[in-house]
Every structure is written in structure tokens, then in C-alpha cells.
Chains A and B, each alone.
Chain A
Amino acid sequence: MKKKLAFAAALLAASVLSGMANAKTLVYCSEASPANFDPGTTTGGNDFDASSRTVYSRLVEFKHGGTEVEPGLADKWEISDDGLVYTFHLHPGVKFQTTDYFKPTRDLNADDVVFSFDRQFNKANPWNGDKYLPNLTWDYYTGMDMPKYVAKWEKVDDLTVKLTLTEPNAPMLANLGMDFASIVSKEYADQLEKSGKMADFSTKPIGTGPFQFVDYQLDSVIRYAAHPDYFKGKEKIDDLVFAITPDATARTQKVLAGECDIAPYPNPADIATIKANKDVTLMDQAGLNIGYMSYNTTIPPLDKPEVRHALNQAIDRESLIKSLFQDAGATPAENLIPPTMWSWNKDVKTDAYNPEAAKKVLADAGLKEIQLWASDRVRPYNPNFQRAAELIQADWAKVGVKAEIVNYEWTKYRSEGKKKDRPGAFQIGWTGDNGDPDNFFATLFACSAIGVSNYSSWCDKDFEDLIQKAKKTSDQAERTKLYEQAQVIFAKEAPAFLLVHSQVYAVVRNNVSGFKMDPLGIHRFDGVDKAE
């Protein structure tokens, strides 16, 4: 029996090998193993690269390389005048992937869409809880406040779906382009439920996306093949392979050696080597992120805007950025949102370096000591909190303010930092989820975010009115105006010291075409080609 099995396996391997001989294979050296392949249940960028961006599609998609929302599985949609009802019209004839573990008998329809969301909040849905996977938390669905805004999803007919909200929420459309909103197959789910193999849903994915899942060897290699019936047309590459390579230097070496075609997140120390190599290109893109330092605006004398401005003015930001990011470079932040995002206000400038002016204000305010918080974690928007703290400490010492550096481990750091009575200046940052300005302004500085992610405990009525109004307005031009005004108030009130928007990098071999860096930090392989 064993011999027979081995023989059959050898035959299978041989057929796969021969099949691969003429196929065009793209190898991506990914940075970590995916937790699983169900994007509703995971939160990491590497999880999404391996599942939602390869296997699945969504009602709406982000423009490749941008943050604008464009049609996906929904060809078009209407939003009611009161902003409460969204009607989506599905693209007809969309095929789910056919694999050795699932053969779809029908095209995508409204049932799949309703099921994809229902399973994430409806406790009565068998896919919501332990029956599917133990300890499911649906972090992104709850994190994006979907339970608060979604009243119901309804099937109108096979190709029409209606979403009703509890209150107007303009960022909703962008939310539906996010990974957790990937559309799964209800037919496949039903089949697995019947056969008692529900957990397979997270390990053997079926979607409508550009690539279909072939195999995953734990912590090692993920294989995909082009989805032949992809509704936007079959991809140019036949096989896509993720070679999981956690070490950044090893990843870069693999691309240089031709063992990988694309690798993300090189080590800043390797950037000079990459630039010197003629076979590869270092691609970069301003990340959808912000590194900043929140002042607790409720504790005197930090409750006075002039004191916060003076602390900002005392920091030599240019030297600080150079020291932190070195060759990797970063864009000094003028606003909370990065310049690539719509509504960025080009007329707003943050405080310029002026220690002399700062010294006087701080002396008048009687600020002699301050706490300055730092953690151990490397973040895209701040590679070294401790180093940053030491440099800021030195700058503040020059204007007569003695900073005491407070250290905590990352998760403890954040839970201590968000407390309303936390004193001093707290270094933190944010990477956007969906390209909507609301995801920065409201998430980080809304009054309701105090104690959650508003580390400045800042609640300004004018600012709050503007961002809440913008959230409820569906007209983008109108929203842009509101956010531009909000940025003026933010600059005037200075609840935080704005540091940078950092760059994100990828190393790509020169025979690869069509790969675009994505401000959302995801890696997509649709539209990518490779010359032999």
C-alpha cells in the first residue's frame, strides 16, 4: 500500500514538474507565514497578501498603487440621498475558482455577498463561532466599527445587494475595499459544513480573485496558479509562489541571487548594495502612515497650545529624521495625513525649528520637566523610539526642559499610553487601513477615541464638528473642504508633534514588469508579468 501511495505521489509530482516546465513562474519572497487564508479572521499585512489580494475579490477595490475606490465585483452602486442605503450591482458571470477540493456549480451571486458579511457578526451563523474555528474574534470587522454602522445586508435579486446603515458613514465604501470585506463562496461553505470539514475553509481558500490556491507547506512555501476564468481576464504569469523568508537580509540576497523576483521590506543597511546592483530595482512609495508624538493636552502646562508649539519648535526635526531613517529616507510630515491622500492641505505647515523662541515661551510657562515615552518596537513610521527619545531629550535640554524617558514593552506601552491621565509626550504612529482621511482624523483624534487611540486626550469642538460632518457627507469635494479646514485647526492647536511619513520599499528584479508599490502596504500580483 505504501509503495502504491509513493508511486502515485511520484506520478503526481512528475506531472506537476512537467507541467511547470513551460510555465511562467513568479516568486515572491514574503516576510512571514500567513496565520491562515481566511481574510475575515486575520489582521496582518502578510496574511492579506497571501489570501485576500491573491485568492479573493471584493465589491469595490482600491486602484492599483493608489487609495481611490473603483469597481470590483460590483460594476456600479447607488447611495441613497440620506446616505443610509447602498445598492450594489454585481458583475454578471463571475466564476469561483475550480480546484481539486471544490468544483463550483454556479456563478457568484448576492447570497455569497450577504454570507461574507453575515458570518462576521451574526452569532446565529454557524460560521461565526467555534464550530468553524476556535476563539474567532473578527478583529477587523469590529475594529472598523462595522457592527455600529451596519443595520442589514439584503439580497434584492441574484445580482443586486442592498446594504442599510444605521447612520450615514461616508468611509463605508472604502471599508468595503478592505481585506476583511473579501467575498467568499457560500456554496463552498455549505459543502464544507455538510461534510463536517469547516476548518478547511481557512486552509483551502476558494474565491473569485486572480490566483487560485494550490498548496501550502507550513512556514515554507505557498503555491498559486492563475485563475483561468478570472472575471478581469487570466493573469500573464501562470504560477505564483510565495517563498516565506522572514530575515530581511536573506530576502534581499535571494532577489540578488535570482531565487526570488520580488521581496518587500529590505533592511535599511542593505539599501546601498541594492542600489549598486544592475539586475534589480529598489522601488519605493510614500507609505500611508504617520509617525507623531502626542502631548496630553489635559494636563497643565501642556493644555496650552503655545507650550505645545514651543516644544515642537525646540526639536531639530531634520536631524532627527536623518538620524532615524538614514539612507531609507522619509518625508517630513506637515499634516496628520500623508501628501498622497486626498484632502491633504498643502498650505498648512508644521512648526519650524526655532529653539530661541521656544526657550522663552517654555520658561514663561514654567515647564522644567516632562515625561517622554519610548517603546522597544520597530515600526514603519519610527524605526527606533528610544533613539528618537534620546535625540528629542537632548534638544529639549537645550531649551531648559529636562525630559525623563519612560520605557515599556509595546503592548503595555500602548495600554499605558492611552490612559487619560498619562503625563507628557508619547511617541506613536499609525498606518492607514483604507485610504480614507477619516481613518486618520477620527481614528486618532476624535473625542470618542480618547482612551482608545487618541493619545493626546484632545477634544476640540471645532475640529470634532468638521470631521463628524465629513464622515456623514458622501460628496468627496465637500468632504475635502471639511478635512482641509480640520488640518488648519490641527496645526493651530498642535495636539501632537508631527514627525514623518516613511517610505515603503521593495526589491524587484528588472525582468519583472507591472508590479506597483501600494500605499496601503499590500502586495498585489495581478497585472504583473515577467520576461524570461
Chain B
Amino acid sequence: MLKYILHRIALLIPTLVGITICAFAFVRLLPGDPILAMAGEHGVAPARYEELKEQFGYNLPIWQQYTRYVGEVVTGDFGVSISSKRPVLEEFKTLFPATLELSFFAMIFAMVLGIPAGIFAAVKRGSWFDQSLMGTALVGYSMPIFWWGLLLIIFFSGYLGWTPVNGRIDLQYFFKPITGFMTIDTLLYGKWDAFRSVLRHLVLPTIVLGTIPLAVIARQTRSAMLEVLGEDYVRTARAKGLSSARVIGVHALRNALIPVVTTIGLQVSTLLAGAILTETIFSWPGIGRWMVESISKRDYVVVQSGLLLIALIVMAVNLIVDVLYAVINPRIRAA
């Protein structure tokens, strides 16, 4: 097992190098110039422009800029934001819990609804439920997040007034974050009203961010379940006279869940990508919105280090999923 894990980690190294190159290159391939973006409408005189280019090190050959960047990253220095002048890592650490909290609830939402729906659709294959579920899942999968979010805000918050428009908590609650996770912090302070406010604020963004993973998980569970239900051992279990609930719940589900676990792991990158739009619409102070704003400001440092940090997280999650997969499916380890 240890050998397997080490092997997986070794495979991550070239990926990591590739990511630093991509993050570094993508930012520089974006049209635009951080110095001109910083100067705003005024523009900047040519002499001053050259001076600033030198100050920021953008006058160096591109490979030197890259080696300098990698050298810093290796020592844990992710740089300082061009616009806010704060260390990138510090900003990331402040904002990441918000993204993580939202992603966690979105994933729970997607699993709690997606897995039972997928199972039920597989069991009732061809029924009206199955067909309408698969149709809905296709719609959910193709849903433009931005439009979907605004639609929910206008209907539930604007028209019905049931949910807050956006933000993480009602503004009357004011306390210093302890963990950065609002659901946990409010409980630590023993503020039930504030906790309820946090939950109310989580409803719409959770639905919006969880929609695509929900669709994917439901579809994946259904097809995995269908495959398993046709296997010999399921037929044997039924022949032994076991109840249908036991056959599906124990024998079939355990095996059907293996590909579903991988799917869930892969959804982490979908969640982080979705967070970019969801956080912008819901004024959610997480890393998605942070990246969008930094791109529009051409804050090279934040964008390249932010991309790298996000990629590291996705890689770590994938590694965990691979290991989990090996745990529940011993055949993988041998391969």
C-alpha cells in the first residue's frame, strides 16, 4: 500500500512542474499589462513605465522571471499581491475557509440527493421517474451557473423574500473569525441566531454550486447501479431469497459506489471552478472571487500563485481519492 502511495506521489511531481509552467505562462499570455492596469485611466509616461517594469522585475527575460518565481515558491514564498501589497498566502488562508465551507455543503447537497435519486432511477429503470430524473440531470449539467444563480436570487430573495440575497451572514452579527468556517465559529461563540443566519445564507449558493455535481453524481450512480444489478452475484443474492432492500442496499450499492467515489473526487475541481462564478454572484468572500478580481486587475502574482495553490489542493484531493479507491478496491493496488 505504501509503495502504491509513494508511486502516486512520484507521479505528481511532473504534474506539479507542468502546473507552475502553465500558471506562469497563462498569466503572461493574457492580453494586458499589470503596470498599465495599475496606472488606471491616467496611463503612465514611457520613462515611468520602464522604471516600474524594472521595479517589478518584468524587464528580465521570461525564463529568469520563471526561475525566480519557482525559487520563491519552493521556499514557501508565494509572493505579494501587486494591488493589495499583502502576502498572497495570507490572503489565500483568510479566504479559503469560505470556499471550503461552501464546497462542503454543495457536495453534501449533491450526494444526499444524487445518490438516492440515482439508485432509485436504476431500480425503476425505464419508469417515468427514471426518465424525468435523467432529463432533469441533463438540464442541471448544462445549467449556466451565472444565470441559474441570478434566477434563484430574483425569485427566492427578491420575489418571495425567503432567503437573503447574498453574503455569508446577516450584517448585525459581528465577531472575529476563529476557524474561518462560519458554521463552526457561530457555534463556538454559542450564537444560535447567528448560526441560523449562516445556514440561511448558505441555501442558495449551495444549490447553485451543487447543481452540476448533483447531476453528475445522480447519472453516475444510476449507470454504476445498473451495471451491478445485472451481475451474477446480485442474481444469486436474490435467488437466496434476500429482501430487495438488502440486495440493493448492501450487495449492489457497495460495489456500485466504487466509481461514484472517483466521480465525487473529480467533482472537487468542478466545485472550485464553479466557485468562481457562484462566489461572484453571491458576494461570497472566497478564493474564486479573489481570482476573478485579480485577473481583471492583472495581478500576476495573485493569479499565478492562486492557480498553483488551487492546483495543489485538487492534486491532494485526487491523491486521497486514488488511495481511498485502492482501499475499497484491492484490484487497483495490484495493477
Binding site for B on A (CB under 8 A): 5-6, 9-10, 12-13, 16-17, 20, 25, 27, 32-33, 35-36, 41, 43-44, 133-137, 139-140, 142-143, 199, 202-203, 215, 217-221, 223, 241, 243-247, 249-250, 253-254, 256-257, 259, 408-412, 414-415, 418, 430-431, 451-453
Bound CA–CA A44/B40 (angstroms): 8
Contacting pair B52 A9 (CB below 8 A): no
Partner of B293, one of A32, A134, A221, A451: A32
* Known A139-B40, A409-B31: A217·B84 in contact at CB below 8 Å: no
* Known A218-B94, A220-B168, A452-B43: A249·B32 in contact at CB below 8 Å: no
Partner of A137, one of B52, B94, B167, B191: B52
- Tell me the minimal C-beta distance from A404 to chain B in angstroms: 20
Q: List 28 A-B contacts (CB under 8 A).
A: A9-B175, A12-B176, A13-B174, A13-B175, A32-B293, A135-B82, A139-B44, A143-B40, A143-B44, A203-B86, A215-B176, A218-B91, A219-B95, A219-B289, A223-B174, A243-B283, A244-B283, A245-B167, A245-B283, A246-B289, A246-B293, A250-B282, A250-B283, A259-B171, A408-B31, A409-B31, A411-B33, A430-B41
Contacting pair B178 A142 (CB below 8 A): no
Bound CA–CA A203/B86 (angstroms): 10
Interface string of B273-299 (1 = CB under 8 A from A): 000000011110110011001000010
- Is chain B's interface secondary structure helix, strand, loop, or mixed overall? loop
Segment at the interface with A among B66-74, B149-157, B307-315: B149-157
Residues of A contacting B280 in the complex (Cβ-Cβ under 8 angstroms) = 246-247
Bound CA–CA A258/B309 (angstroms): 38
| Interface flag for B26 (CB, 8 Å) | no
Give the number of chain B interface residues (Cβ < 8 Å): 61
Bound CA–CA A326/B153 (angstroms): 25
Binding site for A on B (CB under 8 A): 31-33, 36-46, 48, 52, 55-56, 80, 82-86, 91, 94-95, 98, 150, 153-154, 157-158, 161, 164-168, 171-178, 188-191, 280-283, 285-286, 289-290, 293, 298
Contacting pair A249 B150 (CB below 8 A): yes
Bound CA–CA A257/B157 (angstroms): 7
Contacting pair B82 A257 (CB below 8 A): no
Bound CA–CA A217/B173 (angstroms): 12
- Tell me the minimal C-beta distance from B320 to chain A in angstroms: 27
Partner of B85, one of A41, A217, A218: A41
Contacting pair A253 B153 (CB below 8 A): yes
Contacting pair B158 A256 (CB below 8 A): yes
Of chain B, the residue at the smallest CB distance from A5 is: B178
* Known A20-B172, A134-B85, A218-B94: A253·B165 in contact at CB below 8 Å: yes
Contacting pair B283 A13 (CB below 8 A): no
Contacting pair A143 B42 (CB below 8 A): yes
Contacting pair A17 B172 (CB below 8 A): yes
- Tell me the minimal C-beta distance from A500 to chain B in angstroms: 17
Contacting pair B36 A415 (CB below 8 A): yes
- Tell me the minimal C-beta distance from A348 to chain B in angstroms: 25
Of chain B, the residue at the smallest CB distance from A244 is: B283
- Tell me the minimal C-beta distance from B227 to chain A in angstroms: 42
Contacting pair A411 B189 (CB below 8 A): no
Residues of B contacting A16 in the complex (Cβ-Cβ under 8 angstroms) = 174-175
Bound CA–CA A5/B31 (angstroms): 48
Bound CA–CA A143/B86 (angstroms): 23
Residues of A contacting B286 in the complex (Cβ-Cβ under 8 angstroms) = 219
Contacting pair B283 A253 (CB below 8 A): no
* Known A218-B95, A410-B32: A453·B174 in contact at CB below 8 Å: no
Of chain B, the residue at the smallest CB distance from A433 is: B42
Contacting pair A133 B43 (CB below 8 A): no
Contacting pair B41 A250 (CB below 8 A): no
- Tell me the minimal C-beta distance from A373 to chain B in angstroms: 15
Most buried by A among B171, B175, B282, B285: B171
Of chain A, the residue at the smallest CB distance from B283 is: A245
Bound CA–CA A453/B43 (angstroms): 7
Of chain A, the residue at the smallest CB distance from B193 is: A17
- Tell me the minimal C-beta distance from B58 to chain A in angstroms: 11
Contacting pair B39 A43 (CB below 8 A): yes
Most buried by A among B48, B56, B166, B282: B166
Bound CA–CA A139/B189 (angstroms): 43
Other A-B contacts than A250-B165, A415-B36, 13 sampled, CB-CB below 8 A, are A137-B38, A137-B52, A139-B44, A215-B174, A221-B167, A223-B174, A243-B171, A245-B283, A246-B280, A246-B289, A247-B150, A256-B158, A259-B167
Contacting pair A35 B32 (CB below 8 A): no
Residues of B contacting A134 in the complex (Cβ-Cβ under 8 angstroms) = 80, 85
Bound CA–CA A43/B84 (angstroms): 11
Of chain B, the residue at the smallest CB distance from A19 is: B174
Residues of B contacting A452 in the complex (Cβ-Cβ under 8 angstroms) = 43, 45
- Tell me the minimal C-beta distance from B123 to chain A in angstroms: 41
- Report the 6 A-B pairs with minimum CB-CB distance, sorted nearest first: A409-B31, A219-B285, A220-B285, A13-B175, A411-B36, A143-B42
Residues of B contacting A219 in the complex (Cβ-Cβ under 8 angstroms) = 95, 285-286, 289-290
Residues of A contacting B166 in the complex (Cβ-Cβ under 8 angstroms) = 245, 247, 250, 254
Bound CA–CA A203/B94 (angstroms): 15
Bound CA–CA A32/B297 (angstroms): 12
Residues of B contacting A257 in the complex (Cβ-Cβ under 8 angstroms) = 157-158, 161, 164-165
Contacting pair A415 B33 (CB below 8 A): yes
Bound CA–CA A142/B43 (angstroms): 11
Bound CA–CA A5/B46 (angstroms): 53
- Tell me the minimal C-beta distance from A446 to chain B in angstroms: 13
* Known A9-B176, A9-B189, A218-B95: A202·B85 in contact at CB below 8 Å: yes
Partner of B42, one of A139, A215, A245, A412: A139
Bound CA–CA A459/B157 (angstroms): 56
Contacting pair B282 A411 (CB below 8 A): no
* Known A247-B283, A250-B153, A414-B36: A135·B178 in contact at CB below 8 Å: no
Of chain A, the residue at the smallest CB distance from B188 is: A6
Contacting pair B177 A217 (CB below 8 A): yes
Contacting pair B178 A9 (CB below 8 A): yes
Contacting pair A135 B36 (CB below 8 A): no
Residues of A contacting B94 in the complex (Cβ-Cβ under 8 angstroms) = 218
Residues of B contacting A409 in the complex (Cβ-Cβ under 8 angstroms) = 31-32
Residues of A contacting B164 in the complex (Cβ-Cβ under 8 angstroms) = 257, 259
